[in-house]
Amino acid sequence: MTLDQLRIFVAVAERCHMTKAAELLGISQSAASAAIRALEEQHGVHLFNRVGRNIELAQTGHRFLPEAKAVLERAAAARNVLEHVSQTVTGSLSIAASQTIASYWLPRRLASFHEAYPAVRLSVTIGNTRQVEANVLDGAADLGLVEGRTESDILRRAKVDVDRLMLVVASSHPEIAELSPGRPDIRGLRWIIREGGSGTREVLEDLARREGISLADLRIFLVLPSNEAVRQAVEAGAGATIISELVVARAVAEGSLRAVPLDLPKRDFAMITHRDRQASLAQMALKAHLGTSADHD
C-alpha cells in the first residue's frame, strides 16, 4: 500500500462519499475509486459496503481507519524530522481558507512566499469558517485561515491581520432611518447575507443581538454562497449587507455602492492549526511570512 492510497482511504472513510473526498484531495472521482479498489484487491478485503449509490465503512474499514491515520501522522512526523535536520524548507502545504481571505487577502502573500520558498508546494481550498475548521480538525488541511470564530478547543489560533467590516447598500438605495446617530434601523432593511457558518453572517447575528433581536427578526431577502454574489446583488439594489471592506472598497470608491455609517468591531484574520500535530518547517515559515506581510500592509 502507498501513502496516497491511505490518504484517499481516510478521506473517503471520514466522509462516506467518494466524490466529496476526491474534490477535497484535488483528484478525480475515478482516481479515488481506483485507489480504494486497488487497496482492497491487494489485500483481499472489503473496506466499504456499497449500499445503492451510497457507501459506508465495512467492519474491516472501521478497524483499519485508526491504523491508516496513525501511519499518515507518523509519515508526516518523519518528514518534519528530516526537514528540521536539513533546515531546508521543502514539502507541501495544504491550506484551507475562508472566502474573503482566499480571494482578496491571500493570493499576493502566497506569491511572495513562493518567491522566498520556491521548494514548497502550495494548494488552497476555499470554504466558510465552519468548513475550514472541519478541514483542519480532520487533517484534510495543514492549516486554516479564517475570519470567523472557531469552536474547537484543540485548535491553536494566531492573528495574522485585521479586517474592517462595512454596511453597504446600492448608491440608489433610499436614505436609511436611524434609531440614533450612527445606529441605522436594521429591522427596516432588506438583507442579503451569506450562508450559515460564514464570518460575515456571524457579525450580523452579533449586531442583531446587540439590538435585542434575533436574525429571524430581520427581513432576510437572499442567502448567497459567495461574497461576489452578495456584492453584485447589493449593487443591483436588492438590499443591504455587512461585508469586508476588502470586497467592496473599489465599488464604494467608484460609487456603485454606498457605505452606511455604523460602528462595527474589527475582526481578526487568524491562522488555525491542530494542537496535536507537529508543525513542519514550511508551516512555521508560512506563519512567520503571513504575520510579517500583514505588518507591512
Phi, psi for 111 (deg, rounded to 5): -65, -45
How far lies 104's CA from each of 123, 217, 238, in Å? 16, 31, 24
Strand pairing report for 257-260 and 165-170? antiparallel
- What whole-number distance in Å separates Cα of residue 224 and Cα of residue 117? 37
Q: How many CB atoms lie within 10 A of CB 26?
A: 10
- What whole-number distance in Å separates Cα of residue 165 and Cα of residue 242? 7
Q: Which of 131, 264, 246 is nearest to 195 (CA)?
A: 131
| Grid cell locating 105 | 487577502
- What whole-number distance in Å separates Cα of residue 81 and Cα of residue 69? 19
Q: Residue 85: what pLDDT?
A: 53
pTM above 0.85, yes or no: no
The tens-digit pLDDT sequence of the chain (297 residues) is 899 999 999 999 988 888 888 888 888 889 999 999 999 999 999 999 988 778 899 999 999 999 999 898 888 877 776 666 556 678 899 999 999 999 999 999 999 999 989 989 999 999 999 999 999 998 899 999 999 889 999 999 999 999 999 999 999 999 999 988 889 999 999 999 999 888 899 999 999 999 999 999 999 999 999 999 999 999 999 999 999 999 999 999 999 999 999 989 899 999 999 998 888 888 888 988 987 655 545
Cell 472521482, residue located: 29
SS3 of 109, please?
helix
Provide the terminal-to-terminal Cα distance of the chain, rounded to the nearest Å: 47
Note every long-range contact of 170-177, with CB atoms under 8 Å and residues 24 or more positions apart, other chains counting.
Answer: 170/234, 170/235, 170/236, 170/237, 170/256, 170/257, 170/258, 171/255, 171/256, 171/257, 171/258, 172/237, 173/237, 173/240, 173/258, 176/240, 176/260
| Grid cell locating 224 | 448567497
